[in-house]
Structure 1
């Protein structure tokens, strides 16, 4: 008899842990576990656990340290990206004359001049150089033109030299007589060159231009480079 009473007390104590007292002084079983103390399988996703505020799981250690490190890493990454991808200057140096060849015809004077220019890329990415337009003028009159669509590409943090060949036709009667005259030892012409070039990189495009002046001899078959600014 005593053993049965002890078992009854244990069951009653177990029900009391999961039950509530109604108005009649009777105990009701827990609607979740039905007094078994275990959650039925398949109902875990439908139940909500209540955690007390004093639970250490709600107070993770070194939270401020982890947040600060994350912010610093994000700022450092953004700074590096901006440093390497920020557009820098692309410079075109002065056009210099390398050579000129003169050919006399019955009606005009034809000259083939070769110029060189340097393109300096200060960016950390490769740039594409295209749409080169070089105009040669004598006394504000266009006497030669060179247009090139696809020119070249320049590697990051490097410099590249371009060679531009332009054909000049002098049809003015006065200049023809001057260049073909044997009365002058030196037949100097003042040549004005206008250069326009486009570069593109990182979805960014810009146009560069420069003007330069050169002395050429239209009476001989060669000219010593004497560029002026």
Structure 2
């Protein structure tokens, strides 16, 4: 019987020691931490974490409210090749912006006369009708296509308007190219003196002086421009002519 009680006592003592071990805190209290750290640090050099409360874990729901502090000598604050990356990025941006400005910068579109292609003369009773075919060059110096609209031409003979023509849709000019465009302008001579002059058979050549005033609207790179041109031409109003001859630019 005595042996049994001794074993029970031993078991009771063992269970008591287990209960004492169960109540032993995993993380020491403040005094214990200060005493344990006294060998490496003096008392007062360390303080407990105010946010995690000594547990070493962040409370749930406070992840967005806490701020992590990184030491100044942490390598993450000094990434490698930072200057190289910044220089390459700036260089690429400069190259792209330069190319965009180079290709999209508006350049001139020129309208220039070429020649009188032909002139066909008709002799009704009281006037002279001449169908004149002119040739123009439209030069596009841009890296974008150009659309030409609303070509308006007025023919004058000594300040008298003798013919007009208006064309809405002219042509399209490809980038960095020259397009030749032909148009016909009817000239009606109703003046009696001009009528007699052009119909006079005794004259070998009937020179008619015309002053052409042209205007045209172009569209390119999201904006419109107005082009104008003045030129002179001489035709034979007494006979048909299908031989092209050059037009003349006005005097300065």
Shorter-chain TM band: 0.7 to 0.9
Does 2:115 match 1:96? yes
Deviates more, 1:201-210 or 1:112-121: 201-210
- 1:191 aligns with 210
Task: For structure 1, list consecutive stretches of 5 or more residues without a partner in the other structure.
Answer: 18-24
Aligned equivalent of 1:200, options 193, 215, 219: 219
Name the structure 2 match of 1:113: 132
For residue 30 of structure 1, report the CA deviation from its aligned partner: 4.7
Classify the secondary structure of the residue corresponding to 1:186.
coil
Structure 2 residue runs without a partner (length 5+) = 1-16, 35-43
- Decide whether aligned partners of structure 1 residues 56 and 178 sit closer, same or farther in structure 2, where only a CA change above 3 A counts: same
Q: Determine the C-alpha separation between the residues in 2 that align with 1:100 and 1:11.
A: 110
In 2: Cα distance, 1:110 partner to 1:9 partner: 118
When normalised by structure 2's length, the TM-score is 0.78
Q: Distance in 1 between matches of 2:169 and 2:33?
A: 88
What displacement does 1:67 show?
1.1
Q: Could you tell me how far 1:54 is from its partner in structure 2?
A: 1.5
Q: Which residue, out of 118, 129, 151, partners 2:170? A: 151
Question: Where does residue 22 of structure 1 map in the other structure?
Answer: none
Moved over 3 A (4+): 7-11, 28-31
Provide the rounded CA distance (Å) in 1 between the counterparts of 2:64 and 2:118: 85
Query: In structure 2, the residue corresponding to 1:215 is in which secondary structure?
Result: strand
Of 147, 159, 162, 2:181 maps to 162
Higher mean C-alpha deviation, range 76-85 or range 61-70: 61-70
Aligned to 2:85: 66
- Find the counterpart in structure 2 of residue 227 from structure 1: 246
Partner of 1:64, secondary structure, is helix
CA-based RMSD of the aligned residues comes to 2.5
**Equivalent residue pairs, number:** 217
Q: Which structure is larger by alpha-carbon Rg, 1 or 2?
A: 2
**Between 146-155 and 28-37, the greater mean CA deviation after superposition:** 28-37
- Please tell me whether residue 123 in structure 1 is matched to residue 142 in structure 2: yes
